[in-house]
Amino acid sequence: MRLELRIKQLEEEKMQQEHEIISLNNKNRHLEEDLEKAQGKIEQLKTLESEDDDLKKANDAAQRRITLLEQELEESDKSLKDTTANFREADVKAEHFERKVQQLENMLQTQELKNEEILEKNKDLQKHHCMKTNDPTAELLPFAHGFSLLLTFILCHPDRNKRPDAEEMFKTISEAYQILRDDTLRKRYDQFGRTPDLEADLVDGRYFFDQVYGGKAFKEFIGDLNVGKVVGVSDSSCDQAEQQKRVEQLAYEQQDERVESLIASFLKRIETFEEPASATFQKQTWQRIEELLPEGHARSILTIVGRLYVYKAKEFLGMKCGLLPGYAYSLREKNYIVRSLWTAVKSSMDANQASEVLIKTKEACKDITGIDLIASTKAYIAVWNLLRFEIEATLRTMCDRLLKDSSVTDSERQRRAYALLYLGNTFMARPKPSAIETAITSIS
């Protein structure tokens, strides 16, 4: 009996233990689930903490970037203020120079009127040049004195002289210059005066001027010079104002054609150019330079063309790299143009005054030793400055059209700029002009 009770008690205890085991298993399963949830939350917290660190780093980097941008903005504002101040200063100087140029133009006009009065008094060819057929001591002036005639030749040009008889004066001066240069023509003139045979041997004034300073060998680089060229428009049905307007329009069209011709020549010349320049392209460039060097004023013209090529190329490439470098070259070139114009006007006035002194001295039958050399030198300088100013103005227009051509890609415009830079540096690398020529052709 006791044994059965004991067995029953043990069975109950066993059942209770089984229930406890089941309960513990359930608790253990719940604990495992809670542990997994806790681990998941821990992982989430770690992820959030890592993301928070990344956000902090990104925030720090953004703060540093903002600080740098603020500093750059301050520097840009300062540069902009400096540039604005420089532009204002340049504008003030430009206005000052413009007033000066206007004054000089008025003075030049006065000098031209005086020169016209002198020419009016000296219409006769012998009288104009103090050449008397019965004077055995009359001798031809030095060849250099011919440049003073060239200046008079330019001032009598119908494009610049508004007198109705300017065309006839233009022709007379050119014929006088040719007679003075040629001993045979001068002897024939002294013996027989102006005869049909003598006139037949004289060259047309326009062609003659072009031969002296036309720069035919450099036509592909500078085109046909307008100095010494008459733009002829003759229509009796139009009044003078209308004819002048048509002359100006025709001159503008001819200049535009000249620029387009130069652009076509330049593009053909650089067809094979790539930066850096190939050995073949370099060889072709040097060969062309060697062909040009024997020509008159070759080194001076190459220097003028090369300088302007380099300036325009650096201005364009400076704009591509940043605004300030390009504007710096633009301001320097603007200042150069003003000084160049001042030099051309001043040298023309000096030459006029020197020629006037020479003529008055000769009319008074006084000794002109030394005076003729001074007058011819100043006339040479004046003619050259006028030619250089025209060449540079034409080349500026050509370069601007080349580098601002919207019909081509940006890379093509850059290629053109590098071609200008290479050619300009190559032209200026040749032997420099002589000291005398440099003194005459440089801008003071």
232 has pLDDT over 80: no
Mean pLDDT of the 373-394 span: 78
> How long a stretch of residues is the chain?
444
Task: Determine the pLDDT at residue 147.
Answer: 46
For the chain, the domains span 96-270+288-441
38 vs 367 pLDDT, higher one:
38
DSSP string, 146-193: HHHHHHHHHHT-TTT--STTHHHHHHHHHHHHHHHH-HHHHHHHHHH-
- The rounded radius of gyration (Å) of the Cα atoms in the chain is 43
Q: How far apart are the C-alpha atoms of 34 and 174, rounded to whole Å?
A: 116
- pLDDT, greater one: 225 or 408: 408
Residue 15 vs residues 20, 269, 400: alpha-carbon distances, Å:
8, 111, 107
**Dist. CA 217–CA 61, nearest whole Å:** 64
For residue 146, pLDDT beyond 60: no
| DSSP string for 268-328 | HHTTT--SSPPHHHHHHHHHHHHHHTTSTTHHHHHHHHHHHHHHHHHHHHHHHH-HHHHHH
CB atoms within 10 A of CB 179: 25
- pLDDT score of 362: 72
Q: What is the value of pTM for the model shown?
A: 0.52
Give the pLDDT confidence score for residue 119 in this predicted structure. 54
Tokens 């130069």 correspond to: 262
Give Cα separations from 183 to 138, 148, 178, 179, 209 (angstroms).
13, 19, 10, 7, 19
283, pLDDT greater than 70: yes
State the average pLDDT for the chain: 72
| Over residues 205-209, mean pLDDT | 48
- Residue 159 is classified by DSSP as T
| pLDDT single digits (tens) 290-341 | 888 887 678 888 888 898 899 888 888 876 654 455 566 667 777 777 777 7
